[in-house]
A = this chain, B = another copy of it.
Amino acid sequence: MAWIRVDTTSSEPVYEQIVRQVTYAVARGEYRPGDRLPSVRQLATELLVNPNTVAKAFRELERNGLTYPRKGDGVFVAERAGEICERLRREEVVGRIAEALRDAAHSGLPAQELRRIIEMELRTVAREESRTVRSGEEHGKR
């Protein structure tokens, strides 16, 4: 279950990292409506964070309509999770990119230079992703 990785040094709060990554995992189809997520305690020990932090993330997921808790049973992916997290993911991605580009443009950096940077980073990202996917295929199927 290496689908979540938290970076406690990041400025992004740990609980938000969890929310975001669970959302992405559902968006990628790794979790489907009705599936049970790992329990709060289990995920907490796995990620080496406090159960309260995971609980906070799960509460946020619930507020977003992505999951629902059944007391004494576990946390489950909601029926309408598909559309919701699809939308959330898109909003998140578009929002982050829009902000980065707006600030970049506002910085006075020439448009041509900006495009070069984007192309460079896109290639870097594609390279990283392909590597991850391939190693994932090797390890995952065992």
Residues of B within 8 Å of A63, CB to CB, are: 63
Residues of B within 8 A of A83 (CB): none
Instruction: Evaluate whether A102 and B125 lie within 8 angstroms (CB atoms) in the complex, with A89-B109, A93-B107, A93-B109 already known.
Output: yes
The answer to whether B90 and A109 have CB atoms under 8 Å apart is: yes
Q: Are A27 and B107 in contact (CB under 8 A)?
A: yes
Report A94 CB to chain B, min CB distance, Å: 5
Main secondary structure of the interface of A (DSSP, over half): helix
The answer on a CB contact under 8 Å between B111 and A93 is no
Interface residues of A in 61-76 (CB under 8 A from B): 63, 68, 70-71, 73
Which residues of the partner chain B approach A68 to less than 8 Å between Cβ atoms? 9
Contact of A126 with B by CB under 8 A: yes
- A104: B residues at CB distance < 8 A: 93, 96-97, 125
B-chain residues with CB within 8 Å of residue A129 when the two chains form the complex? 105-106
Chain A interface (Cβ < 8 Å from any Cβ of B): 8-9, 13, 20-21, 24, 27-29, 50, 63, 68, 70-71, 73, 89-90, 92-94, 96-109, 111, 114-115, 117-118, 121-122, 124-126, 128-129
Taking A29-B108, A92-B107, A96-B99 as known contacts, 9 extra A-B pairs with beta carbons closer than 8 A to each other, sorted by chain A number, are A24-B107, A28-B107, A93-B103, A93-B114, A97-B104, A97-B117, A102-B121, A111-B126, A115-B122
